[in-house]
Amino acid sequence: MINPDIKKTIEYIKKKYGPSGDLVTRFIKIKKQTICYCFLESVSSDDKISDFFMKYIGNYIKRQISFNNLYESLKNAIPNSNLSTVNNYEDIFYKLASGFTCIFVDGTSEVITIETRSTLDRGVTEATSENIVRGPKDSFTENHQKNLGLIRKRIKDPNLWFKDVTVGRRTKTKVSVAYIKDVSNLKLVDNIIKQLKKIDIDGILDSGYIREFLLKDSKSVFPRFHSTERPDLACMSLLEGKIVILVENSPFVLLIPGLFIDFLHSPEDNYQKAINIDLTRIIRTLSFFITVMFPGIYVALTTFNPEIIPDELLISLAIQRGGVPFPTSLEILVMIITFEILRESDVRIPNASGAAIGIVGALVLGEAAVTAGIVSPIVIIVIGLTSISGLLFTEVDFVNGIRWWRFIFLIASSIMGVVGFVVCLIIFIAKLCSLEYFGISYLAPFAPYFKHQNAILRKPLNKIKERPSFLSKNRIRMRDNNEEN
């Protein structure tokens, strides 16, 4: 435990931090007693320490305050809202790294810690990865307290609980599991916390780390947890009965369970008129099928079953393909890979040179490839439509999952034509159906079927009276006002 002799204690702490220059320690003599404070200046705010601690200590030095026991007096009187005492080194190191200032009093084995954190984040800014036109614009940040606050200020019910687990031997990252006590499935919460506690890893740097630990079978390419940087979506999910996991230093929170249907939704859906959103949702669903299957269908039809294509279209396709030296499937594959390279480079490239990508992508690879006779113009259209449809989905993991299946459909179609395509479709659906998380099927509410008023078509919000039954047992979402009147 902590040695009451503070000189030895400080020596020990200094030795622990080695050559790191950001550890600041200072001894102060008050009457005959010595106290010492130390903090890490990289994570602490000098102003706060001067204002709230040094100024106050000055009063002791000037003997304006009388006391019997210095330790007790300091503990009671230091003007800091977040003051606590610790009595072991592990906690001291954690507090120091969190931006606390530790105050050691000679002869006591307990240490007073006060909060003097400096703000090392960019503040609440607009969401960058999930754009919406109409609705709240704020987004989660890297600051854990702010993230919790963004949720707490939206849901003021004390039944909104946060359970903290510290994960990571070295990073000691705080992971909070948020849920509404009387809405969420508490067994699922317990299960998640149990699994979080089991994680024994040196460091957790983003919520993406957690995701892989919570899933035992991660063979499927489709993401099983929805992640978002939008607090409004997180709260929407909490109210539905889902569980939200917030990880310190990560602006992306996990929504559990993430179902297939969630990836076709946008939080904005609830802010617009239901009847208009229905059309948007249908287009989104359609584009999911387009982006997964269109290259496959194109290859299957043109190379195996041209009978289905209308006369004039077929003739024009055949004329366009004249002189292209590669098989259709290779043509498509080349263009898909080209697009993926473009997309990846567009993400990685610094903003300044972003325009170059557009020029190279559109002109050189599209126009020139056709003129040179390497690919036929229709293939550009096929890939264009496929890729643009894929961009409708905000979750990167989901888009990447789609990419796998696009390849699988393409391969199946180019080997067996329409037969291969249909076989692949059956496998695809069977694969999706077989996924489940804690008893909740991935394809719910379609398979198994549940009555859900907000799956693809959305009822007006005043008609959705119940929560989906597969998410919550406490189903009453809206009470009938008519009964009271």
Which residues lie near another protein (CB under 8 A)? 302-307, 311-312, 314-315, 317-319, 321-324, 327-330, 333, 407, 410-411, 414-417
Q: Cα(133)–Cα(113) distance, rounded to whole angstroms? A: 45
Q: Cα(259)–Cα(455) distance, rounded to whole angstroms? A: 11
Smallest separation, CB 372 to another protein (Å): 16
User: Toward another protein, which CB reaches closer, 327 or 448?
Assistant: 327
Angle at which helices 328-348 and 396-434 pack, to 10 degrees?
130
Report the DSSP beta bridge partners of residue 408.
none
Q: Per the structure block, which two tokens stand in for 154?
A: 């939206």
> Cα–Cα distances in Å, from 290 out to 80, 305, 402, 405?
59, 19, 10, 12
Q: Which residue shows structure tokens 């004329």?
A: 319
Smallest separation, CB 375 to another protein (Å): 13
Q: Report the first-to-last Cα separation within the chain, whole angstroms.
A: 65
User: Toward another protein, which CB reaches closer, 309 or 399?
Assistant: 309
Q: Cα(463)–Cα(283) distance, rounded to whole angstroms? A: 23
Q: Per the structure block, which two tokens stand in for 210?
A: 């957690």
User: Toward another protein, which CB reaches closer, 418 or 456?
Assistant: 418
Smallest separation, CB 432 to another protein (Å): 20
Smallest separation, CB 403 to another protein (Å): 14
Q: Cα(189)–Cα(244) distance, rounded to whole angstroms? A: 10
Smallest separation, CB 221 to another protein (Å): 13
481 by Cβ neighbours in 10 Å (0-12 / 13-18 / 19+) ranks as: exposed
Q: Cα(19)–Cα(27) distance, rounded to whole angstroms? A: 20
User: Toward another protein, which CB reaches closer, 163 or 321?
Assistant: 321
Smallest separation, CB 204 to another protein (Å): 27
DSSP 467-485: --TTT-S--B-S--HHHH-
User: Toward another protein, which CB reaches closer, 154 or 321?
Assistant: 321
User: Toward another protein, which CB reaches closer, 93 or 326?
Assistant: 326
User: Toward another protein, which CB reaches closer, 314 or 357?
Assistant: 314
Smallest separation, CB 404 to another protein (Å): 11
- Nearest 5°: the CA angle 209, 215, 219 is 105
User: Toward another protein, which CB reaches closer, 113 or 302?
Assistant: 302
> Cα–Cα distances in Å, from 385 out to 54, 179, 411?
65, 40, 19
Segments in 98-228 forming alpha helices (H): 144-152, 186-198, 207-214
Smallest separation, CB 307 to another protein (Å): 4
Smallest separation, CB 224 to another protein (Å): 20
User: Toward another protein, which CB reaches closer, 178 or 317?
Assistant: 317
Q: Is 112 helix (H, G, I), strand (E, B) or coil?
A: strand
Q: Is 438 left (phi over 0), alpha (psi -120 to 50) or beta?
A: left
Q: Cα(230)–Cα(190) distance, rounded to whole angstroms? A: 25
User: Toward another protein, which CB reaches closer, 18 or 310?
Assistant: 310
Smallest separation, CB 328 to another protein (Å): 6
User: Toward another protein, which CB reaches closer, 319 or 360?
Assistant: 319
Provide the CB-side half-sphere exposure for 205 (13 A, CA).
1
Smallest separation, CB 220 to another protein (Å): 14
Whether 250 contacts 207, CB under 8 Å = yes
